Amino acid sequence: MLKKYVIIVAGGRGTRMNAELPKQFLLIDQRPVLMHTMECFRKGSDMPDIVLVLHPDMHPYWTDLCRQYNFQIPHHVVYGGESRFQSVRNGLGYIFEKEKVALESTLIAIHDAARPVISQELVDRCFAETVRYGATTAAIQSTNSIRLGSIEESTATDRQQVWMVQTPQTFRADILQKAFAQPEMGSFTDDASVVEKMGYPVRLIIGDQRNIKITFPEDIAIAHLYLKTLDTKPRLE
């Protein structure tokens, strides 16, 4: 039987939001973004164990938020590192060392805390496709014309070949264990790039336009509208 986890990376500072709080703690529909994100993984048939990676300074604040909003979804809290790579590695360390899972029969999704609108259908597809391919990431094709280069000089490229990567990015645990044993590199822009460095191909899964990453203040209003389309209640058991 497969064991499933999701590592939710919530260690960012959210500097582009022009807000005092990191974006994952801002409110949408009268609750923090992070709570919406976590609830997305407690709907439907796939309910992975949740490992939440937080900046150490934000742990007491998160504890207070859970009490204030009566947030009862089970999860494990792990402290993040100085980079996303280090934060994910800390989350993996918890799973590998504390949970002592069978690596070949364990799937681990990695998801941005600031993506609070993810459908259960997409979660299910990510896990199902990873059973077959071992390494996957949600992504959507560009709908815009694309140019490569600089402001001064650029060339057009075929937008059918351009994919905008989302999360979750989902992998077999044994693949992640080997990939995150590598030294950190500047070219590691996401978890898929870490896995690719080891020579593993990453399968693209058609994502969801609603699965936006909250980056700028106006994204809060957009995510609020999209959340209205996700009406399945989370399961707590």
Residues 65-74 have pLDDT tens digits of 999 999 999 9
Query: What percent of the chain clears pLDDT 90, i.e. is strictly above it?
Result: 78
Query: What predicted TM-score, i.e. pTM, was given to this entire model?
Result: 0.93
Q: What is the mean pLDDT of the chain?
A: 91
Residue 106, beta-bridge partner list: 3
* C-alpha distance from residue 223 to each of 22, 53, 75, 227 (Å): 16, 22, 23, 6
- Does residue 45 have a pLDDT over 80? no
Which residue type sits at 21?
A: L
* Domain assignments of the chain as residue spans, ordered by start: 3-227
pLDDT tens-digit series, residues 120-136 = 999 999 999 999 999 99
Q: How many CB atoms lie within 10 A of CB 44?
A: 15
DSSP 183: P
* Residue pointed to by tokens 């409110």: 27
Query: What is the H or E stretch that residue 167 is in?
Result: strand 163-172
Q: What is the CATH number of domain 3-227?
A: 3.90.550.10
> Which element (helix H / strand E) includes 130?
helix 120-133
Q: What are phi and psi of 205, to 5 degrees?
A: -115, 130
Q: How far apart are CA 187 and CA 110, in angstroms?
A: 18
Mean pLDDT of 90-95: 96
The answer to whether residue 17 scores a pLDDT higher than 80 is no
Residue the block writes with tokens 């790039």: 193
Grade residue 233 by pLDDT with cuts at 50, 70 and 90.
Answer: low
Distance CA(91)–CA(88), nearest Å, equals 5
Winning range, highest mean pLDDT, from 95-104, 201-210, 223-232: 201-210
Q: Is the pLDDT of residue 221 over 90?
A: yes
Q: How many helices (H) and strands (E) does the chain have?
A: 7, 11
pLDDT band at 46 (very low <50, low <70, confident <90, very high): confident
